């Protein structure tokens, strides 16, 4: 059956006539896609149900969002180690942070800035997109200039490296019109009665194809995905770790994007993204269970075999992030400085924490939390 979708045959020409939403149902109305949609929504619902039972969702939110930031940045070839990232995140005294850890932490900040922006909002708007982009890039600009000569080139070190593989649209009013259509599609369920998870999948392609900003479009688009799911109520908090799947299947991700623009192959793109939602929902669900299980075991051990007072509070703090400092306990006015230091050292003796000295500063690594997040 012929696909009713106008493709972009010339990779060197701006795709100004990219089809607006809605796309013809023929592009996605088939049994395989709807079966995958059912599986994805079931996994997402299970994750939502499990996370809703947490007494302190902030613990999970802090740790999972940090890993999402790390993976999403890695897709854009911004790499940092877990140790570098967690050390930077653990700093509470506003020391300057440089290099890849700073970029990753900006992504995490954008994740939370965007989430806060959408609270009480009925619809996504240009202000939301600009906020996320500007936070990621530490920028003040908005949609790129009509004269911007941005092209997407083949990466890597093979024979085709550097060749143009896609040219996003440009020109006076072009991006504004396409973004307006995208936002209307996502916001207006009466005019566009498409399943919300399908809307997220389709909308992600459209945003990346529009490529509205001079840089940071991939990261902005992936944050947009998560916030869309929270906005429509499929998740309470932005804890879906989609970037892990994408970084593990990076070539397929870009191949499926190109498949839509060059061949009109919406099916492969939709199936890829639905599989990403299903598997990362399951992965995050399992991480929640592991974190809660080890927290309970550690708390039980402290209650039975330690002299620590208020062990519940201490365990809560050491599970907020992988690296803990004495200052984290004293800043929360939970413990006096000497008491905090003694308790953290006692946890080292129990092999719950591992003390590390970095540049003369003492950090306490939560070994089990670190292991769970690194898998």
Residues 198 and 341 reside in one and the same domain: no
Domain housing 145: 25-287
Establish if 297 belongs to a structural domain: no
Would residue 199 count as lying in a domain? Answer: yes
* Residue 255 domain-assigned (yes or no): yes
Between CA 215 and CA 102 the distance in angstroms is 16
Structure tokens at 45: 């619902």
Domain boundary among the residues 223, 253, 287 is at 287
CA–CA distance, 163 with 140 (Å, rounded to integer): 30
* Per-position DSSP letters for 193-217, written without gaps between them: ---HHHHHHHHHHHHHHH--SSS-H
State how far the Cα of 299 lies from the Cα of 314, in Å rounded to an integer.
9
> Is the peptide bond between 22 and the residue preceding it cis, with omega within 30 degrees of 0?
yes
Number of separate domains in the chain? 2
- Domain end marker among 260, 287, 314: 287
Answer yes or no: is 212 within a domain. Answer: yes
Please check whether residues 236 and 352 belong to one and the same domain.
no
pLDDT at 77: 64
Query: Residue 60's pLDDT is what?
Result: 62
User: Is 296 within the bounds of a domain?
Assistant: no
Averaged pLDDT in 10-residue chunks for the chain of 375 residues: 75 95 95 98 94 67 68 64 60 55 80 92 97 95 93 73 88 97 98 98 98 94 94 90 88 94 96 97 91 93 91 91 88 87 95 88 90 85
107 and 191 in a common domain: yes
State the angle between helix axes of 57-75 and 217-231 in degrees (0 to 180), rounded to the nearest 10.
Answer: 150
Nearest to 210 by CA among 231, 196, 197, 224: 224
Residues 46 and 79 in one domain: yes
- Short-list 328, 135, 154, 133, CA closest to 212: 133
Together in a domain, 311 and 281: no
Query: In whole angstroms, what is the distance from residue 220 CA to residue 132 CA?
Result: 6
Q: Are residues 40 and 106 located together in one domain of the fold?
A: yes
Query: Between the CA of residue 108 and those of 39, 70, 222, 342, what are the distances in Å?
Result: 28, 9, 12, 32
pLDDT of residue 3: 57
Q: Specify the CATH number for the domain of residue 346.
A: 1.10.10.10
Answer whether residue 369 is part of any domain: yes
* Three-state secondary structure call for residue 357: strand
Which helix (H) or strand (E) covers residue 358, if one does?
strand 353-358
CATH number, residue 62 = 1.10.3290.10
Helices in the chain by DSSP H: which ranges? 31-51, 57-75, 82-90, 99-118, 126-137, 174-187, 196-210, 217-231, 242-248, 250-263, 266-305, 311-318, 326-331, 337-349, 367-374
Same domain, 264 and 315: no
At 81 the pLDDT is 60
Q: Which residue has the tokens 């939709």?
A: 270
pLDDT at residue 2, as a whole number: 43
User: Of 57, 51, 69, 175, nearest to 113 (Cα)?
Assistant: 69
Domain match, 331 and 190 both: no
Please choose, from the candidates 362, 348, 8, the residue with its C-alpha nearest in 3D space to the C-alpha of residue 151.
8
Contact, 3 vs 195, CB < 8 A?
no
In a domain, 111, yes or no: yes
| Structural tokens at position 328 | 């984290």
Nearest to 75, CA basis, from 221, 200, 210: 221
pTM > 0.85: yes
pLDDT at 92: 46
Q: Does some domain include residue 295? A: no
Q: Any residues with CB less than 8 A from the CB of 227 and at least 6 apart, and which?
A: 114, 115, 118, 124, 128, 132, 238
Strands 323-324, 164-166: parallel, antiparallel or unpaired by DSSP? unpaired
- Among 257, 287, 317, residue at a domain's last position: 287
Handedness of CA 63, 372, 362, 346 (dihedral sign): positive
Tokens of 119: 């609270």
Answer yes or no: do 283 and 313 share one domain. Answer: no
Q: Tell me, yes or no, whether 227 and 100 share the same domain.
A: yes
pLDDT of residue 194: 97
pLDDT for the residue 367: 94
How far out from the chain centre does Cα 311 lie? 32
Report the pLDDT value the prediction gives residue 1, as an integer from 0 to 100. Answer: 41
- Same domain assignment for residues 212 and 317: no
Residues 233 and 340 in one domain: no
């Amino acid at each position: 059956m012929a696909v009713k979708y106008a493709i972009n045959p010339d990779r060197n020409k701006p795709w100004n006539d990219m089809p607006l939403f809605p796309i013809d149902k023929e592009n996605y109305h088939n049994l395989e896609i709807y079966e995958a949609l059912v599986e994805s929504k079931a996994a997402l619902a299970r994750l939502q149900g499990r996370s809703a039972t947490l007494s302190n969702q902030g613990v999970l939110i802090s740790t999972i969002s940090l890993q999402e930031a790390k993976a999403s940045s890695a897709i854009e070839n911004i790499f940092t180690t877990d140790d570098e990232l967690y050390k930077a995140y653990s700093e509470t005294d506003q020391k300057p942070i440089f290099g890849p850890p700073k970029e990753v932490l900006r992504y995490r900040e954008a994740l939370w800035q965007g989430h806060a922006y959408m609270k009480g909002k009925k619809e996504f708007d240009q202000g939301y997109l600009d906020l996320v982009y500007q936070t990621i890039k530490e920028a003040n600009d908005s949609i790129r200039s009509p004269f911007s000569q941005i092209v997407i080139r083949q990466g890597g070190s093979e024979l085709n490296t550097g060749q143009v593989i896609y040219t996003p649209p440009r020109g006076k009013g072009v991006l504004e019109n396409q973004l307006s259509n995208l936002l209307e599609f996502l916001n207006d369920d009466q005019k566009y009665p498409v399943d919300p998870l399908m809307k997220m999948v389709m909308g992600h392609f459209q945003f990346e194809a529009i490529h509205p900003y001079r840089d940071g479009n991939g990261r902005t688009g992936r944050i947009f995905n998560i916030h869309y799911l929270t906005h429509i109520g499929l998740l309470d908090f932005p804890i879906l770790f989609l970037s892990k799947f994408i970084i593990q299947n990076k070539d397929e991700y870009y191949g499926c994007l190109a498949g839509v623009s060059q061949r009109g192959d919406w099916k492969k793109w939709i199936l890829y993204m639905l599989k990403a939602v299903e598997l990362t929902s399951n992965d995050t669900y399992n991480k929640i269970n592991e974190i809660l299980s080890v927290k309970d075991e550690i708390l039980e051990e402290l209650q039975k075999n330690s002299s620590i007072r208020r062990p519940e509070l201490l365990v809560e703090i050491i599970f907020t992030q992988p690296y803990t400092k004495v200052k984290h306990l004293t800043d929360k006015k939970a413990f006096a400085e000497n008491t905090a230091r003694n308790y953290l050292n006692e946890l080292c003796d129990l092999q719950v924490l591992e003390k590390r000295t970095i540049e003369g500063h003492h950090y306490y690594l939560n070994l089990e939390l670190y292991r769970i997040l690194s898998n």
